[in-house]
Amino acid sequence: MMEGVPTVPRNAPLPATSTDEARVAAVRAWFREAGRDLPWRDDATSPWAVLVSEVMLQQTPVVRVEPVWRAWMERWPTPAALAAATQADAVRAWGRLGYPRRAKRLWECAVALVSLHGGRVPSDLDELRALPGVGDYTAAAVVSFAFRGRALVLDTNVRRVIGRAWRAEPLPAAHQTVGERAHAASLIPGDDAAAAEWAAASMELGALVCTARVARCDECPLASSCAWFAAGCPGLAAAPRRTQPWHGTDRQVRGRIMALLRAASSPLNVAGHAALADVEPGQLDRALEGLLDDGLITRDEATGRCSL
Ligand code: SF4
């Protein structure tokens, strides 16, 4: 362990120190030089566009999100525009981003924004959290990225950076603890703009430099003070690979059904469709019922045919 580098047990938050402030400032300076020029980071981007980007970016990489986000914002530049469309339109436009429940929730969110907030995205954390599909993380991200406010934006990238640099932990635990949140909160600069920049910068550092599988410490603004780097990056080889089982899973079958229905101009007999003939009937039923339960598709009980 590097001498003088504080280690913080997960349940024992410490107040921010001048060393912390210097480290936060270093990450912010790095971000101004190395941060990606993403469209939703543009100052002119509306809070609605930021909210849409945050929902799309959950569990989906930037490269897949960007074209869909651009098309979505072109078509539905305001919550009112999306609320005037149908849920099926939203699910269809979601394309192959995956986890289509997010499209349904985003449409519901647009409807709620129109009915409760006059079609505007609120800047208040609690009001944001009360919206469909908006959890703690997304609410904080909107406060920070859309309104340049002070909020605890703690996604897996930020957790990994803070865990490694401050506590020499290779990877974040499965669940956040009160202590971990309090420690992360103690690092947020007092000034709103600086706080928003730190949120974006720490997230970007985790996405580009201090990733789950690779730590590019020679490019990192925290290298000289990082607790985990000083300890020799123990445990990196054991970091999980990002290859998630996909082929043959229920999720894959759900994706195939959604793709068929997106492309269809009229209701389909999904269970008997030739394109799904290779799927085991029990699994096909399970996937179909799951999509119906989630409200992503509908089935005409008289004909058994399904549509978005
Ligand atoms: S020095 Fe290495 S391990 Fe530490 S935060 Fe930077 S990239 Fe991550």
Rounded-to-integer distance, Cα 141 and Cα 122, Å: 13
Establish whether residue 209 lines the binding site of ligand 1, counting it when its CB lies within 6 angstroms of any ligand atom.
yes
* Cα of 163 from ligand 1 centre, angstroms: 10
* Stated length of the chain: 308
Query: Tens digits of per-residue pLDDT, 30-47?
Result: 999 999 999 999 999 999
- Determine the pLDDT at residue 93: 95
Q: Residue 220, by phi and psi: left (phi above 0), alpha (psi -120 to 50) or beta?
A: beta
Longest CA pairwise span in the chain (Å): 73
Q: What Å distances lie between residue 33 and 136, 159, 162, CA to CA?
A: 29, 22, 20
Rounded-to-integer distance, Cα 93 and Cα 83, Å: 14
pTM assigned to the model: 0.83
- Determine the pLDDT at residue 14: 53
- The yes-or-no answer on residue 54 being catalytic is yes
Whether 264 maps to a domain, the answer reads yes
Whether 186 maps to a domain, the answer reads no
Whether 256 maps to a domain, the answer reads yes
Establish whether residue 210 lines the binding site of ligand 1, counting it when its CB lies within 6 angstroms of any ligand atom.
yes
Atom of ligand 1 at shortest range from CA of 223: 1
* Cα of 285 from ligand 1 centre, angstroms: 46
Query: Tens digits of per-residue pLDDT, 70-119?
Result: 999 999 999 999 999 999 999 999 988 989 999 999 999 999 999 999 99
Ligand 1 pocket: which of 204, 208, 217, 233 to mutate (most atoms within 8 A of CB): 217
Statement: residue 136 has pLDDT above 70: yes
* Cα of 50 from ligand 1 centre, angstroms: 28
Whether 295 maps to a domain, the answer reads yes
Range of the domain at 279: 250-307
Residue 71 near residue 93, CB atoms below 8 Å? yes
Query: Tens digits of per-residue pLDDT, 243-293?
Result: 556 678 888 899 899 989 988 889 999 988 989 989 988 899 899 999 998
Token pair 């904080």 in the structure block, residue: 140
- Determine the pLDDT at residue 16: 63
Whether 144 maps to a domain, the answer reads no
Number of domains in the chain: 1
Q: Are strands 306-307 and 298-299 parallel, antiparallel or unpaired?
A: antiparallel
Tell me the average pLDDT of the chain.
Answer: 90
